[in-house]
Structure 1
Amino acid sequence: MSGIRSTGLRATLFTVPLALAVLGAAAAPAGAAGAHTSHPGKSLTCRGKGVDPDALVRHRTETVINAPLRTIWKLQTDVERWPSWQSPVKTVERLDQGPFRRGSAFRWTTPIPPNPSTPATSLDITSTVQQIKHHACIRWTGPATGDGLRIDGVHVWSFTKVRGGVRVSTEETHTGAQVEADVPTATKLLREGLEAWLRDLKSAAEARAHNRTH
């Protein structure tokens, strides 16, 4: 899985999104500087592969980060250091060695407080990189499991240089009995989690870029 985080049923990791949503991370105000833009239309892909086309729970969003692409890419792919800038991520273990590449896998954990669908639990997520293009995109998949909960996720990230920095776009889908039992709530939690991840990535990357220029 890619994105379940401590704000909801998230990732993703697949993303860290769901867990962050459950903890109640608030979305950036519409129109605010650095606010996220949602795209319900065409799905993101990496090397021709995208999210689960049949998933009922899905969300896509993006933001512009004022930092070098290499800085953003390093933060995102150095998964063992995620806990240093994403507080909902408690532990991360790389299951392979060497450069972050196709086939790389990592196991990470994040707590989820009680919610209408499941009791409080800790999610154990195993994500595997299926497609990757250096400094351009990543797609990983995998399960997230906890007490009474299993979510299968597909998470795609895209990085594009634009005026003012780098546009980081992300899309994730979740499948599983628990999330499919309440699609609107699961989708809301996924949205909040993905947006929280982007906020954390933006904050960490821009702070690192600022420190290197001063």
Structure 2
Amino acid sequence: MTTTRRTGLRTALLTLPLVVAGVLGTAAAPAQAAPHHQKSLTCRGAGVDPKAAVRAKGETVIDAPLSTIWKLQTDVRRWPSWQSPVDSVERLDHGPFRAGSAFRWTTPLPPNPATTAPTLTVTSTVQQLKAGSCIRWTGPAVADGLHIDGVHVWNFTKVKGGVLVRTEETHTGPQVEADVPAATEILHDGLESWLAELKAAAEARDC
């Protein structure tokens, strides 16, 4: 992959938080790409795409109540208030956030060789959910000339010092599969960013 094409792919994927990470502790640390032999996260028995070559996972401890963290993560219409890469979010259903809920969200795309589109559009559908415990959603991220299919799992567990938030995501599609190491690094960076912003927002609300 040429430098310009890799830059274009990086720009597209870094604005796609279909996921962000850390370690046990009060401060987030970099997420690590998940080796295939490590056990994948699940929600109600379902996990990420087992065949995907592009995958990453991460975790962080957030010093805030589980209810605060859960509200931030599931009140998707308010994502733009705390997630800097998210431009807009539209719920495609009504009522409580649950299995079957769907939402469409957008993020700006600066000009790049991968696409001439100004915006990346992600349509996510919740496949599994256990209140206060886990979420798994799937869906495509698309722009002209760009298509990525993502599967994203979140786990939330109360621990000493707060809540352990773990996340894992896989990507498939021609653009990411053209350079798996680069796409994996980009996905890792996206997970790191999401977790860091979730941690900052939750701990600020709990001050």
Specify the TM-score bucket, using the shorter chain as the normaliser. 0.7 to 0.9
Deviation at 1:96, TM superposition (A): 0.4
Letter in structure 2 aligned against 1:34:
A
Structure 2 unaligned blocks of 5 or more: 1-9
Q: Which residue in 2 is equivalent to 1:35?
A: 29
Question: C-alpha displacement at 1:119, in angstroms?
Answer: 5.4
CA distance in 2 between partners of 1:89 and 1:160 (Å): 26
- Helix, strand or coil at the partner of 1:202: helix
How far off its partner does 1:78 sit?
Answer: 0.1
Q: Is it true that 1:137 corresponds to 2:134 in the alignment?
A: yes
Q: Are 1:149 and 2:146 counterparts?
A: yes
State the 4+ residue runs in structure 1 displaced beyond 4 angstroms.
10-13, 114-120
Kindly state the Cα deviation for residue 121 of structure 1 after the two structures are TM-superposed: 3.8
User: What corresponds to 2:183 in structure 1?
Assistant: 186
CA deviations 1:1-22 (Å, max 9, x no partner) are: xxxxx9651576533x7xxxxx
Question: What is the rounded CA distance, in whole Å, between the counterparts of 2:163 and 2:77 in structure 1?
Answer: 23
Give the equivalent residue in structure 2 for 1:75.
72
Return 107-116 or 92-101, whichever deviates more. 107-116
**Per-residue deviation, 1:33:** 3.2
* Paired position in structure 2 for 1:9: 13
Superposition RMSD in Å? 2.4
- Using a 3 Å threshold, how does the CA distance of structure 1 residues 186 and 143 change in structure 2: closer, same or farther? same
Cα contact 2:31–2:58 (8 A) shared by 1 = yes
CA 1:169–1:7 in 2, change beyond 3 Å: closer, same or farther? farther
Q: What TM-score results when the alignment is normalised by the length of structure 1?
A: 0.83
Name the counterpart of 2:206.
209
Partners of 2:63 and 2:50 lie apart in 1 by 32
**Correspondence for 1:167 among 150, 164, 167:** 164
Distance in 1, matches of 2:194 and 2:69, equals 13
Q: Kindly provide the CA deviation profile for residues 115-158 of structure 1, in whole angstroms up to 9, marking residues without a partner as x.
A: 56555641111000000000000000001101210000000000
Distance 2:30 2:164 in 1: 10
* Residue equivalent to 1:58: 55
| Alignment of 1:108 onto 2:112 | no
**Structure 1 residues 32 and 72: CA distance shift in structure 2, 3 A:** closer
The Cα offsets for residues 172-194 of structure 1, whole Å up to 9 and x where unpaired, read as 00000011001111111100011
2:88 and 2:27 map into 1 onto residues whose CA distance is: 31
Aligned pair count?
A: 194
CA contact (8 A) 1:137 1:159 kept: yes
Residue segments in structure 1 that go unaligned for 5+ positions in a row:
1-5, 18-26
Structure 2 distance, partners of 1:8, 1:110, is 9
**Per-residue deviation, 1:112:** 2.9
**Corresponding residue number in structure 2 for 1:84:** 81
Q: What is the Cα deviation at residue 101 of structure 1?
A: 0.2
